[in-house]
Amino acid sequence: MSETKIYTFAFDEKKNLFRLVPETGRVMRVKSDHKKFEWLKKQEAGKVVKINASGRWTASKDYDGLYGRLQEQVDAPATPTETAPKPTPAPKRKPKAKAAPTPPVEPTRPKSVFGHHHVWLGIQVIASRYQKVSDIHIDVYDDLMLDVATFCTTTSSVSTQDLIQKFKIGYNRAQRIFDTLDKLSIIKDGTSLVRDERELSKFFAMGSDRVDLSVDPKSDVWPILEEVPCPTCDGAGKLVSFKTVASGFLNLMKKQVRVEEVCHHCGGLSHTETLHYPYHFQGPAERAYKVDVTLDLDPVAAEILEELMVQDEFSKRELLQALKRSKTVKVTAEDAFQDCWSLKEGTPTGIGEVPPLATWRMVQEVKPSLNTYASFQVGDTEPYIKPFFKAGIIDHGTKRRSTKDTETYYKFTKDAKAFYKTL
């Protein structure tokens, strides 16, 4: 993950500017002509500003107590420096240096076993969005495609593993060929649909050497035009038929008349045109992501206690659901998700706004609009339970229950209840 600096911020009305103060380092001043000045005016007082290495600004609650630590540095009394005695020409007795005054000792606060429980967790989150640009699949013609399609006509079922063993190729290449044959309806759900090699002509009307699709996917040559002989008119561009015409007395004379018409399939061109593109986008869908977060358990425990306080004990399922609803968990996880993937919440790119097939230039044009996501939720919250036990916040339930009840039950410890009710 990239390094992120955290600042407190305050507005100086006299000078009409914001001061951003880090725990270590230089103070940043944001004047009215700065592009983030108006954004800072909209932020609530008491929040902290995070700036990552790429220059992206975000605001979040002060979970780590940065304001408090900076205030303690300001309030701490400075240690007076000793002044060296002035040198005297005569060898007189040196005066004793005055001892530095002892700084006043603040009364110690009663310590609790709880408080300041920061844990490092790797958790799962789920968001609906387009794939990252780096995950776009290259859809380039494979010279084994026709051989694999022919193999499919000799068997009733086929799998990726069959292609790996039969053609001695890697998994990724086998899966790409398998997916392409599925799109062409040569196979469906692993079942071969084409039983005759001659039927393959409608899928592979051109030979594998008709056009070269092994060009660099980022080349400006794309899209590559393929001209396939029209199967309806056999490349003639027209359709010929004969009809019987009656003439003469009482229409007793019959004769065959040749009728020609433009092929409706190719429009008289004698071929159909297909454009090949090197990339295609996978549409927006919910996907799971792994993010690492630093979480303060105390506000989370306070939220859970408030929600479940009417129950002496609660099930594991209820605890997991309460964790998913926790605002602290969601905000912390979402901030980490945005920083990790350089994303922002907003109106997501719709299917009609992104071309399903694209050249590299088109990919670069649409890339900025993929920086949003439609929905966000915390996935698996079970990793939180172990830190709650370790911190002494929860314990196993002790009530007797029916043997048919297979749920796991927990309860807040007495010390945790007493502490978190005060937050």
Whether residue 267 sits in one domain with residue 313: no
pLDDT tens profile 405-419:
888 999 988 888 887
Q: Residue 102: what pLDDT?
A: 52
163-183 in b/e form (b: 16+ CB < 10 A) is: bbeeeebeeeebebbbebbee
**Rounded average pLDDT over 274-294:** 78
Report residue 15 as tokens: 């000078």
CA atoms within 13 A on the CB side of 182: 14
CATH number of the domain to which 163 belongs:
1.10.10.10
Q: Is residue 244 part of a domain?
A: yes
Whether residue 330 sits in one domain with residue 257: no
Whether residue 376 sits in one domain with residue 298: yes
Whether residue 349 sits in one domain with residue 392: yes
Q: Is residue 31 part of a domain?
A: yes
Report residue 185 as tokens: 């309806």
Report residue 87 as tokens: 């040198």
Instruction: Transcribe 249-298 into DSSP letters.
Output: GGG-EEEEEEEEEE-TTTTTSSEEEEEE-SEEPPPPEEEEEEEEEEEEHH
Q: What angle do CA 98, 101, 102 make, to 5 degrees?
A: 140
Whether residue 237 sits in one domain with residue 198: no
Whether residue 366 sits in one domain with residue 294: yes
Residue 420, CA distances (Å) to 170, 304, 332, 414 in order: 56, 10, 20, 10
Q: Is residue 315 part of a domain?
A: yes
Q: Residue 163: what pLDDT?
A: 92
Whether residue 405 sits in one domain with residue 305: yes
Q: Residue 82: what pLDDT?
A: 42
Number of Cβ atoms within 10 Å of the Cβ of 216: 11
Query: What is d(CA 162, CA 142) in angstroms, rounded to the nearest whole number?
Result: 17
Whether residue 342 sits in one domain with residue 310: yes
Q: Is residue 405 part of a domain?
A: yes
Which of 202, 233, 253 is where one domain is finished?
Answer: 202
Q: Please, are residues 4 and 51 in contact by the beta-carbon 8 Å criterion?
A: yes
Q: What angle do CA 32, 36, 40 make, to 5 degrees?
A: 90
How many domains, the chain? 4
Is this prediction's pTM over 0.85?
Answer: no
Q: Which of 20-34, 127-141, 247-261, 263-277 has the lowest mean pLDDT?
A: 127-141
Q: Does position 268 have pLDDT exceeding 70, yes or no?
A: yes
Domain membership of residue 164 as a residue range:
140-202
Q: Residue 164: what pLDDT?
A: 92
Whether residue 252 sits in one domain with residue 158: no
Report the SS3 class of residue 73: helix
Whether residue 271 sits in one domain with residue 341: no
Q: Is residue 170 part of a domain?
A: yes
Q: Is residue 62 part of a domain?
A: yes
Q: Does position 386 have pLDDT exceeding 80, yes or no?
A: yes
Whether residue 412 sits in one domain with residue 375: yes
CA atoms within 13 A on the CB side of 201: 8
Q: Which of 71-75, 121-125, 337-341, 374-378 has the lowest mean pLDDT?
A: 71-75
Which of 213, 248, 276 is where one domain is finished?
Answer: 276
Which of 24, 44, 75 is where one domain is finished?
Answer: 75
Whether residue 268 sits in one domain with residue 230: yes
Q: Is residue 297 part of a domain?
A: yes
Q: Is residue 212 part of a domain?
A: no
How many angstroms from the chain centroid is the CA of residue 64?
A: 26
Q: Residue 410: what pLDDT?
A: 92
